[in-house]
Amino acid sequence: MKKIIKIILLLIVSISYSNSYAYNDAQSFDFKRCPDHFYISTLNSRLEQWRIYTDGVYVVWKIEYTEKNVYHKDVYFFKNEEIVYILIENNGVKNGKIYGTSNIQYYLENKKLIDYSSLGSGPVEHDNWNPKSIYKIYNKRVREHRTLYKKYIDIASN
C-alpha cells in the first residue's frame, strides 16, 4: 500500500512539474521579436493575424483577431512537434480600451489533456462546458495552418 501511495505522489509531482514548466516557458517567451512567419487569414470569415515563432525549443503559433468587440488571442506551444500548452484569451474592447479579460490554459502531454486552468468569466462557467472541447478547436487550427502554409508556399514559389 505504501508503494502505491509513493507512486501516486510521484505522478502528481511530475504532472505539476511538467505543467509549471510549460506555463513558465509560455510566460517568458519573447513575443517582441520578429516572427519567423506571418500570415493574414480570412479562413474564418474574419481577419486573423498568425505569427509563427521558433526558438530552438518551441514552435509557437500566436493567432489574434477581433470579433464583436472582443479581442481574441490563441497561443499554441509545440515542443518536439507535439502540442504541450494552449492559451485561449478573450478581452472585451470598448472605446479602444480592454476590459473583462478571461483565459483558459491547457496543459497537454502525449496529445492528452492533463490539466487546465481558467481566469475570469467565460465558457468554463457553463455547466455543459467540456475542457476536452479544446481538441476540436486545436484540430481546426491545425487544418487552417496547413492551408495557410500551402497557400503562402504556393505564392512564394511563383
The residue extents of the domains of the chain are 2-157
Q: Give the mean model confidence (pLDDT) for residues 147-158.
A: 71
Look at the alpha carbons of 104, 135, 28, 33 in this order and tell me if their dihedral is positive or negative: negative
Task: Tell me the per-residue pLDDT of 31-86, one tens digit each, with 9 for 90 and over.
Answer: 666 677 788 888 888 899 999 998 888 899 999 998 888 889 999 999 999 999 99
Task: Tell me the per-residue pLDDT of 117-149, one tens digit each, with 9 for 90 and over.
Answer: 888 766 777 788 888 889 999 999 999 998 988
123 phi/psi in degrees, rounded to 5: -65, -25
pTM over 0.85, yes/no: no
30 phi/psi in degrees, rounded to 5: -85, 90
- Which strand ranges, in their side-by-side order, compose the sheet holding 70-79? 37-41, 48-54, 58-67, 70-79, 82-94, 97-109, 112-119
Residue 107: pLDDT band by 50, 70, 90 thresholds? very high
Question: From CA 124, how far away is CA 118, in angstroms rounded?
Answer: 7
Residue 29 has pLDDT above 90, yes or no: no
Radius of gyration of the chain (CA): 18
